[in-house]
Amino acid sequence: MVAELTKNERQGALVILLALAVTGLAMAAGGRGDPFGIHGAMVLVAAIVGIFAVIGGYYAPEPSPERLDSYYDSPTKFGIVAAMVWAVAGMAVGDWVAWLLAYPEWTFDAAWASFGRLRPVHTSGVIFGFGGNALIATSFYVMQRTSRARLPDQLTPWFVLFGYNLFCVIAATGYLMGVTQSKEYAEPEWYADIWLVIVWVTYFVLYLRTLNRRKEPHIYVSNWYYLAFILVVAMLHIVNNLAVPISWGSAKSYSLFSGVQDAMTEWWYGHNAVAFFLTSGFLGMMYYYMPKRAGRPIYSYRMSIISFWGITFFYMWAGSHHLHYTALPQWVQSLGMTFSVMLLVPSWVSAGNALMTLNGAWHKVRDDAVLRFMMVAAVFYGLSTFEGSFMAIRPVNSLSHYTDWTVGHVHAGALGWVAMITFGAIYASVPWLWKRNGMYSAKLVEAHFWLSLAGTIIYVFAMWNSGIIQGLMWRTYNESGTLAYSFVDSLVAMHPYYIARAIGGAFFLLGAIIGLYNIWMTIRTASQDQAAQNVADRPVTEPAIGAPALQPGE
Amino acid sequence: MTITHDLLVWFSKSFGLFYLIGLSLIVVVYAYWPANQKPFNAAAQAILHDDDDKPYRG
């Protein structure tokens, strides 16, 4: 990897790593016994490992100028493997906390193993670790292809990927130590947040620099979605995390907002994280990989543009539906509800556009599990956006809010849509990236597909049942006008569904483990026979592929 | 100046209304503008035909 960097880039990497090491040392010294100090030590160790890696490859020959004739895919490869590792880790913790809900005594009396600390490890692990790495990796792939431009340099993409994963590790280890700012999906404390801003702005600038070098006059629609994801996540992250640390040596900080303003800011962030992290970015992925895999262009390019602007401008206002029947003013709730209902239009335009793209390629969907992953993702995207609009309606929300229905809805989106489209995109791109004829085992891809689908359906049905029962029990009155059931009564009623949910999650996790194994074996095994094939191919393909117009000396 | 409920309602019913209608019109006109169809179709097709999987070098 270091060998791919130019001399200047190796020096740049050393400067960055030295600065990081100094920061880590200062944090460790200032924080002492505080988790802040432990995180400082981790940053220091990470930087030192990086410094040794760069020094180890420092005198390797510089990369040849011929590298500029190909796309720079090493960061994408790293990101895909990292995404799959995070998927397995994050889903394993997810299934663990699912069992904890069914059997709460399984916490070993240890603080780190309590539900409250493990749950954000799961959510951050799958959303940021799995989803984020997959988005960064595929965005590098897609932006280069659709722009016909190589990444502008070799160092920045690595800074983005390593920096982002450092953030994810700091976040997850912090939760286990009890570090949290108690904002859902924005739990990491101020220092991790500042680091993410640096990484994220670098990512944004890298994207713009690549687009700026593009050879295609029109910017392909996937890039719009990816860019919206990067830009809006930066906005959301900065505003929601405005906070004042209690000292420079402490992990603890206080938010700039309080009371209902805090709640509104948090859910403006939270719902737009769903919109721009879990929707926009993955739609960008879908609009590239699905047509490519199906061998058919997007059914309606125009509609992909119209739904882009619809999604971008409607989602911004939808967050307040998380705060129905709270201290938030009624009209703000109504605003969020109205925009959530309107969102159904651009969402279904996207889902319909995806399914119509497959029209005429259904035989491929039948035969190819990779395309089937993407098809099922589009169906679940349609289902969960309908469900989301429906649940945002205030009277419906009075039944669904605070129940497992919400959890079921989130997972219909996260497992059925986000994870499925990601697995589809990863399975499509692994053979392209590592120049293989196909995955190591098509059967294992099939197995992964059916485990994922079965797991999602078990999970979602368990939570629908449990959520509606919960909601109904909480609003059932007896003849004397008091509640018929206590909270514990409803909890007991949930028990079988919690077990079912944990089993569904285990199916999904098993699928991800198989996927990781399959990807790993694809990377490892096919290299020999591919090498043999390349030798045989060379005399024929080289003149054919090399641009015929180029003459010696040109 | 205090931001009152009435002020926000007035703002959303005037500026907010026309801003969103205007935005929708601009987007639809852009998407359906006849001269844009060629680049749109070309872009939709282009991703399917990157047989030489190489960046452009000027």
- Between A536 and A428, where is the model more confident? A428
Partner-chain residue, chosen from B28, B31, B39, that has the shortest CB–CB distance to A218? B39
| pLDDT tens track for B22-47 | 999 999 999 999 999 999 999 999 89
Q: Is the pLDDT of residue A540 over 50?
A: no
Is B1 touching A (CB cutoff 8 A)?
A: no
Question: For the stretch A287-315, what's the b/e string if a residue is b when 16 or more beta carbons lie within 10 angstroms of its beta carbon?
Answer: bbbbbbbbebbbbbbbbbbbbbbbbbbbb
**Residue A312 within any structural domain of the chain:** yes
Name the helix (H) or strand (E) containing A503: helix A487-525
**Residue A294 within any structural domain of the chain:** yes
| B48/chain A closest Cα distance in angstroms | 6
Q: What is the pLDDT of residue B2?
A: 81
Is A309 in contact with B56 (Cβ distance < 8 A)?
Answer: no
Q: What is the pLDDT of residue B6?
A: 87
Q: Is the pLDDT of residue A238 over 60?
A: yes
- Per the structure, how many domains does chain A have? 1
Gap between the Cα atoms of A206 and A202, Å rounded = 6
**Residue A19 within any structural domain of the chain:** no
Contacts with B50 from chain A: Cβ below 8 Å: 145, 148
Is A65 touching B (CB cutoff 8 A)?
A: no
Contacts with A291 from chain B: Cβ below 8 Å: 44, 47-48
Taking the CB of residue A230, how many other CB atoms lie within 10 A of it? 24
Q: Which residues pair with A244 in a beta bridge?
A: A254
Is B47 in contact with A146 (Cβ distance < 8 A)?
Answer: yes
Measured CA to CA in angstroms, residue A101 lies from A172, A400, A431, A459, B5 at distances of 20, 19, 39, 14, 42
> Which residue stretches of A330-368 are H helix?
330-342, 344-358, 362-367
Domain ranges of chain B: 5-46
Q: Which residue does chain A place closest to B12, by CA atoms? A: A335
Is B9 touching A (CB cutoff 8 A)?
A: yes
Find which of A66, A70, A216, A307 to mutate to test the B interface (most B CBs within 10 Å of its CB). A216
Partner-chain residue, chosen from A69, A297, A306, that has the shortest CB–CB distance to B27? A306
Q: Is A173 helix (H, G, I), strand (E, B) or coil?
A: helix
**Residue A43 within any structural domain of the chain:** no
Is A302 in contact with B31 (Cβ distance < 8 A)?
Answer: yes
Gap between the Cα atoms of A513 and A527, Å rounded = 22
Confidence class of residue A551 from pLDDT cuts 50, 70 and 90? very low
Q: Quick one: tokens of A441?
A: 């085992």
Is A306 in contact with B28 (Cβ distance < 8 A)?
Answer: yes
Q: Is the pLDDT of residue B1 over 50?
A: yes
Q: What is the pLDDT of residue A447?
A: 98
Q: Which residue has the tokens 């094939």?
A: A533
Partner-chain residue, chosen from B24, B43, B55, that has the shortest CB–CB distance to A301? B43
The sign of the torsion formed by the CA atoms of A117, A119, A120, A122 equals: positive
| B1/chain A closest Cα distance in angstroms | 18
Q: What's the CATH code of the domain at A99?
A: 1.20.210.10
Q: What is the pLDDT of residue A533?
A: 53
Q: What is the pLDDT of residue A544?
A: 42
Is A221 touching B (CB cutoff 8 A)?
A: yes
Q: Which residue does chain B place closest to A541, by CA atoms? A: B52
Angle A77-A226-A342 from CA coordinates, rounded to 5°: 140
| B2/chain A closest Cα distance in angstroms | 16
Is A296 in contact with B56 (Cβ distance < 8 A)?
Answer: no
| pLDDT tens track for A436-453 | 999 999 999 999 999 999
What average pLDDT does this structure show over A391-410? 96
Q: Which of residues 410-439 of A touch B (CB under 8 A)?
A: 432
| pLDDT tens track for A200-218 | 999 999 999 999 999 888 9
**Residue A347 within any structural domain of the chain:** yes
Over pLDDT 70: what percentage of chain A? 95
**Residue A11 within any structural domain of the chain:** no
| pLDDT tens track for A139-188 | 999 999 999 999 999 999 999 999 999 999 999 999 999 999 999 999 99
Is A295 in contact with B48 (Cβ distance < 8 A)?
Answer: yes
Gap between the Cα atoms of A270 and A239, Å rounded = 12
Given a contact cutoff of 8 angstroms between Cβ atoms, the answer to whether A16 and A33 are in contact is no
Over pLDDT 90: what percentage of chain A? 92
Q: Is the pLDDT of residue A296 over 60?
A: yes
| Domain ranges, residue A362 | 73-524
What average pLDDT does this structure show over A424-428? 97
Is A220 touching B (CB cutoff 8 A)?
A: yes
Confidence class of residue A528 from pLDDT cuts 50, 70 and 90? low
Is B52 in contact with A547 (Cβ distance < 8 A)?
Answer: yes
**Residue A545 within any structural domain of the chain:** no
